[in-house]
Amino acid sequence: METKSEPELYDYGIQNERSDIRAHVCPRVQRLYVFPTVEGQKAVASGAWPIRPAYQNGVVGPTAIGYLVPPFAIKKCISLEVNPAAWVTINLQESDDTSLKGKKAVELVKQMILSGMFPLPYSLKEVNADLTKTIQINGDDIIVNLGAHQVHIQVKCDFGGGDPRLGGTGNLYLQVAERNPLKKI
């Protein structure tokens, strides 16, 4: 009798990304969790946190695995409260497909950068006054040109993540492997 094995997941996640900053957009708790990517990588490498699969509607088997890491366990992680009107405007729904969630999350972070509500490692005196010309969107990565250097921001929609007192899971999902059977970008 032949047994069916789980589909292969590919080594793809925080451990091998090259961003400077991670932004987890958490609609359920209406917060953004922002931290240096290297600090998230250290949290994953510690092996201290449980690993769990993730699934997509209409797909058999897991489509990702990741670590459940509480925000407080990631050094330099900050929680940013987002204006409730911004959530209404973005209209990020749990029923949105994965690609749409990602696009909406990127748009929210972009708007926060443009309004000066996102922590970037610079002083405003060093940046061109027209930030709209310094931001590039590349998938779920935002690149901000800050004069002599660029800051790469990896944006993740972590729908249920965040503070349990606000209805979140208490964790951020730091993915380390995935597959993309629906070919979503």
- 166-185 pLDDT, tens digit each: 999 999 999 999 887 666 55
From the CA atom positions of the chain, what is the Rg in Å? 17
| Residue 99 pLDDT > 80 | yes
Which of these, 18, 17, 34, lies nearest to 26 by C-alpha position?
A: 34
Which of these, 79, 83, 64, 94, lies nearest to 164 by C-alpha position?
A: 79
| Residue 129 pLDDT > 60 | no
The pTM score is 0.87
The whole-number pLDDT of residue 86 equals 93
List Cβ neighbours of 120 (8 Å cut-off, separation of 6 or more): 21, 113, 144, 146, 151
Q: Higher model confidence: residue 137 or residue 13? A: 13
Mean pLDDT across 7-11: 84
| Residue 124 pLDDT > 50 | no
The whole-number pLDDT of residue 181 equals 66
| Residue 158 pLDDT > 60 | yes
Query: pLDDT band for position 66 (50/70/90)?
Result: very high
